[in-house]
Structure 1
Amino acid sequence: MLVTLLGRLAQFAIMFLSVKLMTSMLVPTQLGRVALITTSVAFFAMFLVNPVGMFVNRRLHAWFADGRCRTYLHWYSLYILLVACLATLSLVGLSMAGLDLMGLSWAWSLALVGGSLVFGIAIQTLVPSLNMLGRGLSFTVLNVSTLATSLLLSYVFCTWIGASAEQWVAGTVAGQALLAGLAYWVFFKNYRAAQWIPYPSASQRYRLLHFCWPISIAVGLQWAHMQGYRFVLADRFGLEEFGLFAAGYSVAAAFLSAGETILTTWFQPRFYRSVNSENPSERNAAWAAYAARMIPAALLGCSALIATSSLLPRVMLGPQYHEVGNYVLLGCFAEFGRMVIGIYVLHSHQHMSTRSLILPNALGAVAAAFGLTCAIVFFDAGIAAAPVFAACGCILVALMLWWTGLRLDKHTHLDGGRLTAQALGLFAAAVVVLQLLAKLPVKTTLEALLASLLVFMVWMAFAFFMRHDLLGRSQNGKNG
């Protein structure tokens, strides 16, 4: 556990350096193009790959134990390659039709989008799977090495060839490609595969399709809800203003995603082991045990980020982006909503009832899109309206997931009063701190860093008082 924690802290440091270097080297127009490229990759990854990847996570322990894992992952790799080809052809077709805000040639589309899907998903499958199987050291070394190599190559490409979106993303893809082969070798080292693995039966294929197609629709809607609007913003407000928005939002997303990754590294392997347990009581309690840890941690992280939203751009971003604190603040709420939805969604995954995800995500996406469209067309709203309506859509999705699923399961009870009190207390403290910081003459990066560290120490005290929730223990010290 200590090795994993140190690795996650190293990952956090690399993330910080990556954002700092990217915003120091790329002008807002190029940063906006990077955001559009990653958004395009996210669409194909979420809509076509994520559902199958969820199924792989759900069955990984069983496959690894009986020797079928290598064969099934090879089939999965072939599917990813087909998705990458489809993505490249789709983007080239859109470009030929004049619908290309990214400005990529067909060769760059193949290298950046296709390469990100093939090598990025290979890394995102193999490396986290090592952690799922309890191989923490291998997971940590490969994870940190991939991030460090990608950052180094992005910096080298931008320095030697030119500071552009293409070179930055190319460095990331090159780093993933270099480490993907090593990750495969480490994952299957000393692996004993089954001598004969039959082709999946009709019932197995049906079970895969039954599990995946609802997730595909749901995450496609989630992409439209949380990311698809970026193309509209870039077209309406221009790449330069969109680049400033993307920089601020990326700070919120980076911090909360880093915290979420640390937490899921600890808690998701335990969740999936419990889900696959032969003990019915352990299976039934799996989601509640997971959510009771994750939700207080999400509240803690989001409130801390709100409190420091005016300081972080000066610490994390280049000089051109120091005044994007309002986008950081608004991005906090949207990303917090995304985290809560991610927690709620695992209840459906646990029970393999993924069809229940479609309606909530559809309502959230439609409500967010309709609200943002009306705000822009009728009220001439600015670019800052996007995360506001994304957050409102998240609230609707979370309420629908609770109403249609969690409310009906007697094993998913959480202490709503305690969580509400924590939320009110933490967000009230965040608002007070934000107002106090607004009155301080913070001008330099060093001053912003020192003020951020002071706020961090205050939130560490909050974390101490919430330790029983974060550790999943009751007040008497027994495991919850």
Structure 2
Amino acid sequence: MLISIGRLATALIALASIRAATSFLSPEKYGQLAILITIQMLCGLFLINPIGQHINLHTHTWWDDGSLPSRLKSYNYYIFFSAVLGALLSVTIIPNSPTDTTYTAIIILFMISSSTWNATLISMLNMLGFRAASIILTVATATISLITSIIFITFWKSAVSWFAGQAFGMLIGAIGAYLFFRHHAPASPHPKIRNPLLTRKVLLTYCLPLAVAAGLMWVQLSGYRFVIEHFWGLSQLGLFVIGLQLSGQIWALAESLAVQFLYPFFFRLISEHKNEERVKQALSDLLNTLIPVYLLLAGLTILAAPYLMKLLVSAEYSSAWGFMIVGAVVELCRVLGNTLSNAAHAKRETKSLTLPYAAGAFVILSLIFISGEYNLDISWAGLALISGAISMLVTMLITMYHQVKFKLDALRCTYSLLVMIAMGLSVFYLPVANGLQNELLALISISFVAACSLFLVLWKNPATISLLSAQLRKI
């Protein structure tokens, strides 16, 4: 309950942040904010994430032997190096006056450093069993970020000002996590021994392949924004991104809950990965539980898009509900791809993840370039994202099936797919709801239909029952 409440609170604060940002920033300035976030994500996914994943794999071992604090000291140098690269990249990409360019570079450096330590330490506290502290710091980070961004942007209405407020909140959360971590971390039995964070073998066989896959994922998630800004401008990019972000917040909440509640059972079942029949059954159970749910959520997001845009963003952005539909389809493919990718993790064959993300990135960039060169409407860029997401999902499905021969529940998956299609087509026949009361009534009605369908696919679902029957602890 504590984790669920914390995640829900964080999601609501994130939605409030989007509402506040769209109230203070014009679409053009929101497009500038999207570029800043894209640079941050590039450094986070391509440079930092592979090292961070390596740390996650060894957190408990290093905590037990008391070497974790000393290993993190060398990580600090790498984070600063990555932040400097991000700052230099911002100078190259973002056209500004010399003063604005310097200020932007400093804020980018500040954001990459503070957000990385925030995510690393808070996630580490959660893994080590300090769940309450982790949740409190997560909610505090989101709250402080929102408040400081509003304060900063009141004095200077710019994308960089909003971004600086977010970075300040990340810093406060990181400091709180560091103080808690330092207070509880065990002392090293050999404090004078320098413990390495990485070895050459780990760097070449684990981090570099993961960096390639993460870089391709970045292209699919946000790297395309540079191309859209080049062909259609910052204002159109701002409208484009806001729709995708709203869908992203909804799906992030749903996926985080699925990961929190179902994945522990799944990973318990596949812990003996050499038992192929058990792995096959566990993956099939996970897919047959989540695929129907995700399909229905996609239908709900598409059908509710016009009303949600009016409620969650300022009037200047409400016409961008079509991009929220694009975001719903893209997010559906993303989470389904993530769920299928568990086959690679179960078989310890993560190199197979590169091909699906490469296919998606190639399709997206190719189609956006073609659309831009022929001066087509930006809606074609939305179709490019959908095409790339579907290409990634189909490739992932084929690739992962070669890893594990899973079986799908045809009845439940087909029913959910048909309901999703029906809800998706119905969006074009929705009545116009004017006023908060009518918009809320429409959303409640749509949610009721989706909830009934969700009840049908989960009620006595044998896959869910089988998955939840796993014993997480043997003693």
TM-score bracket, shorter-length normalisation: 0.7 to 0.9
Between the aligned residues of both structures, percent identity stands at 26
Check 1:185–1:394 CA distance in 2 against 1; reply closer, same or farther (3 A cut).
same
Q: Give the AA of the match of 1:465.
A: L
- 2:328: which partner in 1? 332
Give the equivalent residue in structure 1 for 2:17: 18
| Alignment correspondent of 1:155 | 150
Which residue does the alignment assign to 2:250?
255
| TM-score scaled by length of structure 2 | 0.88
Q: Deviations over 1:121-146 (max 9, x none)?
A: 11112222333334332222111111
User: What whole-Å deviation, never above 9, does each CA across 1:302-330 have from its counterpart, x for those lacking one?
Assistant: 22101101111101000111111111111
Gaps of 5+ in 2: none
**Which one-letter code corresponds to 1:318 in the other structure?**
S
Q: Which residue of 2 aligns with 1:221?
A: 216
Does residue 113 (structure 1) correspond to residue 108 (structure 2)? The answer is yes
- Matching residue of 1:210: 205
Displacement of 1:274 in angstroms is: 6.5
Q: How many residues align?
A: 467
Q: Which amino acid aligns with 2:321?
A: G
SS in 2 for 1:44: helix
Q: Does the CA-based 8 Å contact 1:229-1:386 persist in structure 2?
A: no
Displacement of 1:270 in angstroms is 5.6
Check whether the contact 1:244–1:321 (CA below 8 A) recurs between aligned residues.
Answer: yes
Give the corresponding residue for 2:241. Answer: 246
Contact preservation (8 Å) 1:101, 1:231: no
Q: Which runs of 5+ in 1 are unaligned?
A: none
Residues 309-318 or 243-252, more deviating: 243-252
Aligned pairs for 1:418-457 (under 5 A) are 418=411, 420-431=413-424, 433-436=426-429, 438=430, 440-457=431-448
Q: Is the 8 A contact 2:269 2:470 kept in 1?
A: no
CA distance in 2: counterparts of 1:152 and 1:344, whole angstroms: 38
- TM-fit CA distance, 1:164: 1.3
Distance 1:156 1:385 in 2: 37
Give the superposed CA RMSD: 3.1
Does residue 99 of structure 2 align to residue 82 of structure 1?
A: no
Question: Aligned partners of 2:273 and 2:209: how far apart in 1?
Answer: 28
The answer for the alignment partner of 1:179 in structure 2 is 173
Matched, 1:404 2:403: no
- Cα 1:290/1:22, change in 2 over 3 Å: same
Alignment of 1:234-383 (within 5 A): 234-268=229-263, 277=271, 281=275, 284=279, 290-378=286-374, 380-383=375-378
In the TM superposition, what is the alpha-carbon distance from 1:418 to its structure 2 partner?
4.4
1:126 maps to 121
Retained in 2: the 8 A contact 1:15–1:254?
Answer: yes
Counterpart of 2:46 in structure 1 is 47
Tell which deviates more after alignment, 386-395 or 260-269: 260-269
| Correspondent of 1:164 among 136, 150, 158 | 158
Asked if the contact 2:114/2:167 (under 8 Å) is kept, the reply is yes
Contact 2:146 2:165 in 1 (8 A): yes
Distance apart, 1:4 and its partner CA: 0.8
Equivalent pair of 1:211/1:352 in contact (CA under 8 Å): no
Q: Which residue of 2 aligns with 1:31?
A: 30
Paired amino acid for 2:72: L
In structure 2, the CA distance between the partners of 1:294 and 1:367, relative to structure 1 (3 Å rule), is same
State the 1:434 CA deviation: 2.2
CA distance in 2 between counterparts of 1:352 and 1:109 reads: 41
TM-score, reference length from structure 1: 0.87
Structure 1 residue 44 displacement after superposition: 1.4
State the secondary structure of the residue aligned to 1:474. Answer: helix
Pick the aligned partner of 1:474 from 457, 465, 468: 465
The aligned amino acid for 1:382 is D
Q: Does the 8 Å CA contact 1:360/1:397 hold for their aligned counterparts?
A: yes
